[in-house]
Structure 1
Amino acid sequence: MEVGKLIKADATPHASALIESLRDIGYTLSTALADIVDNSITAGASKVHIHADTLSDAPSIAIIDDGCGMSRTELIEALRLGSKNPREDRASTDLGRFGLGLKSASFSQCRRLTILTRCDGVLAGARWDLDEVAETDRWEVSLIEDDNNIPHAHLFLGNGTLVLWEKLDRVDGGYQQDASKRAQHINSALADAERHLRLVFHRFMERSGKGKLSISINGRDLVPIDPFASKNPATQVDPEETLALAHGVVRIRSFTIPHHNVLRREEWEELGGPEGHLRSQGFYIYRGDRLIISGSWLGLARQTELTKLCRIRVDIPNTMDSDWKIDVKKASAQLPPAVRERLKKIVERFVQTSKRTYRKKGQKLTDETRVPMWHRVLTDGTIIYQPNLDHPALVEFQERLPDSLRQDFRNCISLVGAGLPVDSLHADMLGHAETVKASIAETDALEQALHSMVPHLLDRGISKSSIRSMLKTTDMFREEWERIEPVLTEILQQGEPE
């Protein structure tokens, strides 16, 4: 044997072992469906229909698009694992990367993947069946000559592609023997996937004309979710910033979404999603208009109540995949050093916008011209809330008490302040501040407060119009404004002229 010559041995992976391993990359039904939709968009589809049969003994999910379709040769290549080298140049609209998405996403949910595709009117079909691979241990797909006996094939008309998942062992929740529980579990997973698709592809769904995408599930069209509420006039939008790097340009834009008082409850809840606004703040990273990361500061800031209105959109091209370490699922990424430094500076400046929005609400507590019911006092770094014993309503009532009871009255008010349930408030406010409300005062109590406050404000030289505006924006009066406005008008008419 020649000295120094290397001896080589065949290390071709065993088909059954590797293909089973690919099932555990970490897809959910949501991310798996999104990966299939990526292929539809790359194929130029304008419509994607998802049909799920959850009630039969053999449940299945089909994803049908009206894209360009594939020839038989192209189909076989698409079913090859690693069909494209991630280093290859791609069109800017290509949402793929590794040549694994179609297969790894499908195998993560099912054991049988069938593809029907029609290009220029010519039908082609092929199937991966993992049970067959387990028996043969060979990298072989079965070719299909027609669409007979293929579930959902009657819905597949014209050019495009049908991706069919059967043997849903990763979607059925383990309820193979209980049809009703199995259907319930699959439908629940589809409900989660619905929101995911509405968010991930919202920019494609919001387009008009060429490039617009519609997605439906079981015949129901999905409505996009814009995480920035960019069409709401109360949303604050910063100018776009750009960062030119070796492999492309990063585009950055900061948004401060409206305070919950400005939005309808259903709008606010949809923006926050199932995990709430505390978890929805941070970066939203898009690759070719497709969302890959939502609601994370990526280690550059902490998720806090005061910054939960902050959302930063970051757009990257698919030429930067290796720089960002985009994973197979297109669900995670890492910040390149140059981008991290730039974003760190943007975050430090931008989060102050959201904090000011909330502090502006809290500033009213220390604005003496508004005659607050509570004082907000900062002592040695500690914020203390104390009842305002000098509030006109309390002073007026105190003056009607006999001298012997006045100190007792002040003691009672002090106890109310000392009994403020700070721990409970903190727990309730954490991530769900919009659900915490003050109790509604009785109309008689509000009228009594008006009779005390209005003369006090007039004596301080505040005009009647300013008093009206001030009280209308004060929480306890705003909620009952229709009932107390006539009382206020009567009191102002009795007051001094402006």
Structure 2
Amino acid sequence: MPPYQPSADWQYEIPTTGSKRLPPAPRYVESLTHQGYGFEAAIADLVDNSIDAGARNVVISFLRDEDRLVSLLVVDDGSGMNDEALDTAMTVGGRQDYGAQALGHFGAGLKAASLSHADSLTVISRTKRSPSTGRRWLTARAQADFTCDIVDPGYCQDLVDRYDGLIEWHGTIVRWDRVRAFDTVTAGQADRYLNDAIEKLETHLGLHLHRFLADEHFNVDIVVEDVTTKDELDHRGVEPIDPFGYRIPGRAGYPRTYTAPVEGVGEVALTAHIWPPKSPLVSFRGIGSLADRQGFYIYRNNRLVQAGGWNSTRSAEGHLALARIAIDLPAEPNDVFSLTVKKDGVTVTPAFARGLEQATDAAGHTFAEYVQEAQATYREAAKRASEPQRKAVIPAGKGLDPRLKRTLRDELPELEGEDPLTFRWDTLPSELFFELDRDERVIKLNKEYRQVFNGGRRGGLNDAPVVKSMLYLMVNEIFQKERVRAVHTDNVALWNSVLVEAARCELAR
């Protein structure tokens, strides 16, 4: 081989003498477990896959064996996968044919999201034309030699049959076992852990998928199942949390749409909103620190991929708490906007900041003027006399419809760090309509009168919403007291007497 002779363009060209294939070492799988996925973001990534598969219904199920959390499943009624497609889905970076409208992006989400939280990932699927099939990654084996297990067909069909109300002719089940967070739940803390985990998951999915959840034909439910009896111990429907879901804007003339000329992309639309000051709505105050929630809300194919932040175009400040701007990323690939692997943020080049400086709306108003008006709206509200505050309440828990709980959170401030109040139908003396268990934070309802509220139908976990919501408001203060005073005891006796008689009147009709 002749000796290397540098050319005149040596500083621009690097000479090569050949090439060789260097596949990733099996230990690369270990890196997937350290991607920094939060629990809620990981589940959202799995639901993204369900949406890409055309699912109309997704159920996230926590499997529970008494006080022990066993597994987590994400079940959908999407198009499903045959053996070949399942092999591709379980290969790191395996999928490369994402459509322009797909939520998937890098081909690593299923594996990285799952293995960040579980040491065992099983995927079982079926299509209209192929039987149930399954694959399993065990972290330890994958790290050794990339070995992926083929799941027994009989087990695959049994698991599909368990969810035959959702998966009929096609669908997919993603199952996590040996979930690390579940192993940290100490004895007697399962209820508290689940309530906290589900509340956070509801909020995250409700926010980041709010445009999909606003479609009545797409539903996400979160359930807790008894692994032995298959009974539902909890069931909550995820409601959309629109970060722009105010009733009346905080300033007349908004929202406004500005157009920013961004070099390398073209015109980018910025829909600027000013929230009404001191809004009690969960979509404003219930999704984290207000300082973190001002700024840009960036969407990719209708999926929220960044919930607030100024992308280095300015610093967060209290006077901008009411400012939120919606941006839909352009469909065409570009070098200005880059989505993170976890779909929890967008990086931008300086071209975006330069475009903001030139952004105007149809009337010639500048984006800089919008920022000033958002600040002015906040300052003007601060000068006005403070509005009367409603008294904080213990949060509502199991037994109330999720939509009702959302309304209660919108209307009433909640006491922080308090275990929620739950409802349960129980056997009580006939002269009692309800009974309070202050130690367990349970409002027990007499199941003798349950038929009054269900019109002959079989009662569900969240039935009788009217009477439950009234009782929740009536007795909340009693649960907050260290000692129950005589007046409270007398009120409970009064309410029981009236409600029992009302129920008996209804039964006699």
- For the aligned pair, the TM-score class normalised by the smaller chain equals 0.5 to 0.7
Q: Which AA in structure 2 matches 1:226?
A: D
- Equivalent pairs counted in the alignment come to 352
Could you give the per-residue CA deviations for residues 115-138 of structure 1, whole angstroms, max 9, x where no partner exists?
121211533322233255158523
Could you give the per-residue CA deviations for residues 443-491 of structure 1, whole angstroms, max 9, x where no partner exists?
xxxxxxxxxxxxxxxxxxxxxxxxxxxxxxxxxxxxxxxxxxxxxxxxx
1:21 aligns with 2:31: yes
Larger Rg over CA atoms: 1
Q: What are the equivalent positions in structure 2 for 1:389-408 lying under 5 Å apart? A: none
* Residue aligned with 2:346, SS: coil
Find the aligned partners of 1:344 and 1:144 in 2 and give their Cα distance: 60
1:3 offset after TM fit, Å?
8.0
Could you give the per-residue CA deviations for residues 45-82 of structure 1, whole angstroms, max 9, x where no partner exists?
11111111244546111111111111211111111111
Structure 2 residue aligned with 1:95, among 89, 103, 114?
Answer: 103
Find the aligned partners of 2:190 and 2:384 in 1 and give their Cα distance: 53
5+ long unaligned stretches in structure 2: 5-15, 224-234, 360-366, 386-411, 414-509
Structure 1 residue aligned with 2:116, among 88, 105, 108?
Answer: 108
Q: 1:145 to 1:330 in 2, by over 3 A?
A: same
1:217 aligns with: 222
Partners of 1:81 and 1:100 within 8 A in 2: yes
1:336 aligns with: 349
Q: What are the equivalent positions in structure 2 for 1:335-414 lying under 5 Å apart? A: 335-344=348-357, 347-361=367-381
2:173 aligns with: 162
Could you give the per-residue CA deviations for residues 88-139 of structure 1, whole angstroms, max 9, x where no partner exists?
6x42320111111111111111111111212115333222332551585234
TM-score (norm 2): 0.62
Q: 1:234 to 1:136 in 2, by over 3 A?
A: closer
TM-score (norm 1): 0.63
1:2 offset after TM fit, Å?
9.3
2:439 aligns with: none
Could you give the per-residue CA deviations for residues 290-331 of structure 1, whole angstroms, max 9, x where no partner exists?
111112112222322221110001110353365422121111
1:240 offset after TM fit, Å?
5.0
Partners of 2:72 and 2:175 within 8 A in 1: yes
Q: 1:321 to 1:331 in 2, by over 3 A?
A: farther
Q: What are the equivalent positions in structure 2 for 1:30-429 lying under 5 Å apart? A: 30-55=40-65, 57=68, 59-85=70-96, 90-120=98-128, 122-131=130-139, 133=141, 136-147=144-155, 154-156=162-164, 157-158=167-168, 159-169=170-180, 171-172=181-182, 174-175=184-185, 178-181=186-189, 184-207=192-215, 212-218=217-223, 219-229=235-245, 231-232=247-248, 236-239=254-257, 241=259, 243=261, 246=264, 250-260=268-278, 263=279, 265=280, 267=281, 269-320=282-333, 323-344=336-357, 347-361=367-381
Q: 1:76 to 1:2 in 2, by over 3 A?
A: farther
Find the aligned partners of 1:315 and 1:132 in 2 and give their Cα distance: 40
Find the aligned partners of 2:72 and 2:35 in 1 and give their Cα distance: 20
Find the aligned partners of 1:150 and 1:113 in 2 and give their Cα distance: 17
Q: 1:116 to 1:317 in 2, by over 3 A?
A: farther
Could you give the per-residue CA deviations for residues 171-199 of structure 1, whole angstroms, max 9, x where no partner exists?
22634xx3434664354233212100000
Partners of 2:70 and 2:177 within 8 A in 1: yes
Find the aligned partners of 2:266 and 2:50 in 1 and give their Cα distance: 25
Find the aligned partners of 2:82 and 2:111 in 1 and give their Cα distance: 18
Find the aligned partners of 1:28 and 1:252 in 2 and give their Cα distance: 29
Identify the structure with the greater helix proportion: 1
Find the aligned partners of 2:25 and 2:355 in 1 and give their Cα distance: 45
Q: Which AA in structure 1 matches 2:271?
A: R
Q: Which AA in structure 2 matches 1:201?
A: L
Partners of 2:80 and 2:126 within 8 A in 1: yes
Q: 1:344 to 1:299 in 2, by over 3 A?
A: farther
Q: Which AA in structure 2 matches 1:206?
A: A
Q: 1:254 to 1:127 in 2, by over 3 A?
A: same
Partners of 1:173 and 1:182 within 8 A in 2: no
Partners of 2:30 and 2:139 within 8 A in 1: no
* Residue aligned with 1:172, SS: helix
Q: Which AA in structure 2 matches 1:217?
A: I
Q: Which AA in structure 2 matches 1:192?
A: K
Find the aligned partners of 1:2 and 1:36 in 2 and give their Cα distance: 55
Find the aligned partners of 2:248 and 2:130 in 1 and give their Cα distance: 47
1:341 offset after TM fit, Å?
1.6
Q: 1:45 to 1:131 in 2, by over 3 A?
A: closer
1:12 aligns with: 23
Q: Which AA in structure 1 matches 2:243?
A: P
Find the aligned partners of 1:7 and 1:221 in 2 and give their Cα distance: 57
2:447 aligns with: none
Find the aligned partners of 2:382 and 2:21 in 1 and give their Cα distance: 70
Partners of 1:125 and 1:146 within 8 A in 2: no
Q: 1:53 to 1:349 in 2, by over 3 A?
A: same
Find the aligned partners of 1:116 and 1:38 in 2 and give their Cα distance: 17
Partners of 1:30 and 1:190 within 8 A in 2: no
5+ long unaligned stretches in structure 1: 366-433, 436-498
1:438 aligns with: none
* Residue aligned with 2:356, SS: helix
Find the aligned partners of 2:36 and 2:372 in 1 and give their Cα distance: 36
Alpha carbon RMSD of aligned pairs, Å?
A: 3.1
1:477 aligns with: none
2:416 aligns with: none
